[in-house]
Structure 1
Amino acid sequence: MKSRAMVLAAASLLAALAAPAAAQKVLKVGIGLSDDHPQGVSVKKFGELLSQKTGGKLTARLYAGGALGNDVTMISALRGGTQEMVVPDTSTLVSLVKDFTVLNLPLTFQTEQEADALLDGPFGRKLLDQLPAKGLIGLAFWENGFRHVSNSRRPITKAEDFAGLKIRVVQNPLFIDTFNALGANAVPMPFTELYTALEQKAVDGQENPTATILASKFYEVQKHVVLSKHIYSVWVLLLSKKTWDGLSPDEQKAVQEAAREATAFERKTIRDFSQKAIAELKKQGMQVTELPAAEQDKLRQKLQPVVAKYSKEAGEATAKEMFAELEKIRAKK
């Protein structure tokens, strides 16, 4: 009898010890950037919010610096159900949903605020609603920011200065065509390989928002940066549909609420960081230039064929809808 009681007590203890581990679900979130970049900080904030809202039953764990792969391979892992979350640039989704192309049309957005209004409105929701059919759930749009060009060869002060530079770009045809149209030699490459390529001078430069240039320490291997604002770049907070389908309705609600709150946090965090980044890049020895309005107009002219080509490829109706929405947003100012 005593032996049976001891067995039952031991079984109860083992069950009690095992219960918390079994109850908690950990969502692996992969990013290519460092954990101290605003993107990484915001993923950690999302995890905190998720844990708070579910009493610790659901949380998110950050895997930064490409630990789980690059954006393309991680999206594939989400679709296969072997990874739960990733925060890629929307440009990497174009092969799955061509409508995402329009977000990266050169020189489309004027301010971050009008981008927020577009992405948080019906047009943004229409894009996200196409993802479940591809095995993905789009929870929110996060800001990456206006992209600028850095290089190790020379300052860029006019449109013609892009000519001949080998510039690493996102693995996306629109980005390739954009820089080739400016006379540069576009080199598509995963972000995780970029620092080494810059260090070894396999490429002369790259294009990213100032927050990424600073957080990735490109100032160690680059001398010049021009605030070109050639493309506004957006991230999307993605969840595997297989993971989503395995969550209870309450857990799904908590994920959506945490994503919404983390989005407001992310946008404020990256904008604050970006404002300080330019001064810090100068402090680190980078030469920062701005293109005069006349030179920016030259860029616009050079890039018109790219805008026309990719508006057609994405679907002219989609591009027309986006530009119409932007006009409405600007009219409300």
Structure 2
Amino acid sequence: MRRKRFVSAALATLLALTMTACGGDSSTPTNDEGSGSDAGGTPEYTIKVGHTLQEDTPAHKAWLLFEEQVEANSEGRIAVELYPNSSLGTERVMFEACQMGTLEVAYGTTSVLANFDKNMEVLDLPFLFEDEATARAAITGELGTAAAANLGDIGLINLTYMENGIRHVTNSSHPINTPDDLRDLKIRTMENSIHMSSFTHLGASPTPMAFTELFTALQQGTVDGEENPLFLIQTSRFEEVQDYLSLTGHFYTAGIATINKAFFESLPEDLQTVVTEAADAAREEEYRLCDEQNATALEYLKTEMEVNEISPENRQLFVDATAPVYDEVRTEIGDELVDMALAAQAG
């Protein structure tokens, strides 16, 4: 596979300065959970984990569990530092930093990681999964393993998959029941070619921008709407600047934690096991929290927004409109992964 790096000297310098300003020195963690040395000594290793989400999201709570288990089970040999809320930059910047080794673990979405490894595109196919259970089984099974098989070529290892979730559309104009309702609406998307192509086929005007800019963009009318999982719509307070929530379920977005390959391989085998087992525990905790928070979020959002479901007949209109995206992905990554995804669709 062709090796890709999205790195520049300026970016490396900027990130180093950002991490220094944020207290990135391994002896001074930024979180409040302790120094990472239960025995009172100096840790042998430090794992910095960066992500863009708020502290009240399932992902951050799961990373707190990862921190707790790694520090306890390594008997203080590893300290973990958590950097939420985009404090180290965007997902793309953090994946780049993870490639360089200036950040040990970057947690983001497979949608953004697809800019580094095209095989990740298969996990973003539109209307691939109708429910989380089917998606989780596929992502943590054969499909997810195959999608991540080439990450080592760009200096990364898939530490674990987590979940961003099934995504739905909000906007300030009207309910979305059919693709025609999306026509000409400016919808913020992630910087992902599959997402942008899908919304283009649906008649919308996809507008990629950083998540940190989104609330203001919605407030000022720079974009008409956005698409995210239910818990993230609530925790981001989008109901304050959006009137309509349509349960389109157009993408399932997996979260992925990459760990720098050289760093991981530098750990003794017993510590590698500590890290991977803690990551697996964090994944299961995040799944549990996502289920709880999505259910709570939907009930809350129904009191703040006009919420509509999509009928099976109308859902098929969305599926048909985005069918050409599957051919586009086949051109990018070949038939094998796409066929594997379609086989996983049935559960």
Letter in 2 for 1:323: L
Instruction: Give runs of aligned pairs for residues 29-40 of structure 1, distance below 5 A.
Output: 29-40=49-60
Distance 1:279 1:58 in 2: 40
1:46-80 Cα distance to aligned partner (Å, 9 max, x none): 11111121112223222111100000000000111
3-state SS of 2:322 partner: helix
Q: For residues 128 and 20 of structure 1, do their structure 2 counterparts lie closer, same or farther at Cα, with a shift above 3 Å needed?
A: farther
1:84-120 Cα distance to aligned partner (Å, 9 max, x none): 1121110112232211111111111122111122122
Counterpart of 2:284 in structure 1 is 264
Counterpart of 2:300 in structure 1 is 280
Letter in 1 for 2:207: V
1:118–1:124: 8 Å Cα contact kept in structure 2? yes
Give how far 1:21 is off.
5.2
2:105–2:258: 8 Å Cα contact kept in structure 1? yes
Indicate the structure with greater helix content. Answer: 1
Letter in 2 for 1:187: T
Instruction: Give the alignment partner of residue 112 of structure 2, picking from 76, 84, 92.
Output: 92
Residue 168 in 1 paired to residue 168 in 2?
A: no
Counterpart of 1:5 in structure 2 is none
Distance 1:279 1:326 in 2: 28
Distance 1:114 1:59 in 2: 35
Query: TM-score of the superposition, structure 1-length normalised?
Result: 0.89
1:199-252 Cα distance to aligned partner (Å, 9 max, x none): 221111111100110111111111111000001110011111232133221111
Counterpart of 1:51 in structure 2 is 71
Query: TM-score of the superposition, structure 2-length normalised?
Result: 0.85
Q: Which runs of 5+ in 1 are unaligned?
A: 1-16
Counterpart of 2:271 in structure 1 is 251
Higher gyration radius (CA): 1
3-state SS of 1:237 partner: strand
Instruction: Give runs of aligned pairs for residues 169-248 of structure 1, distance below 5 A.
Output: 169-248=189-268
Instruction: Give the alignment partner of residue 309 of structure 1, picking from 302, 325, 328.
Output: 328
Q: How many residues align?
A: 310
Instruction: Give the alignment partner of residue 146 of structure 1, picking from 156, 163, 166.
Output: 166
Distance 2:140 2:75 in 1: 28
1:153-186 Cα distance to aligned partner (Å, 9 max, x none): 2222333111111000010111111111111110
Give how far 1:282 is off.
2.2
Give how far 1:321 is off.
2.2
Residue 299 in 1 paired to residue 340 in 2?
A: no
Residue 23 in 1 paired to residue 43 in 2?
A: yes
3-state SS of 2:170 partner: strand
Counterpart of 1:322 in structure 2 is 341
Distance 1:227 1:97 in 2: 30
1:263-293 Cα distance to aligned partner (Å, 9 max, x none): 111101111110111111123x211111111
Q: Which runs of 5+ in 2 are unaligned?
A: 1-36
1:51–1:57: 8 Å Cα contact kept in structure 2? yes
Counterpart of 1:112 in structure 2 is 132
C-alpha root-mean-square deviation of aligned residues, in Å? 1.7
Q: For residues 282 and 24 of structure 1, do their structure 2 counterparts lie closer, same or farther at Cα, with a shift above 3 Å needed?
A: farther
3-state SS of 1:278 partner: helix
Give how far 1:26 is off.
3.0
Letter in 2 for 1:95: N
Runs of 4+ in 1 over 6 A off after TM superposition: none
3-state SS of 2:126 partner: coil
Distance 1:311 1:143 in 2: 24
Letter in 2 for 1:176: M
Q: For residues 144 and 221 of structure 1, do their structure 2 counterparts lie closer, same or farther at Cα, with a shift above 3 Å needed?
A: same
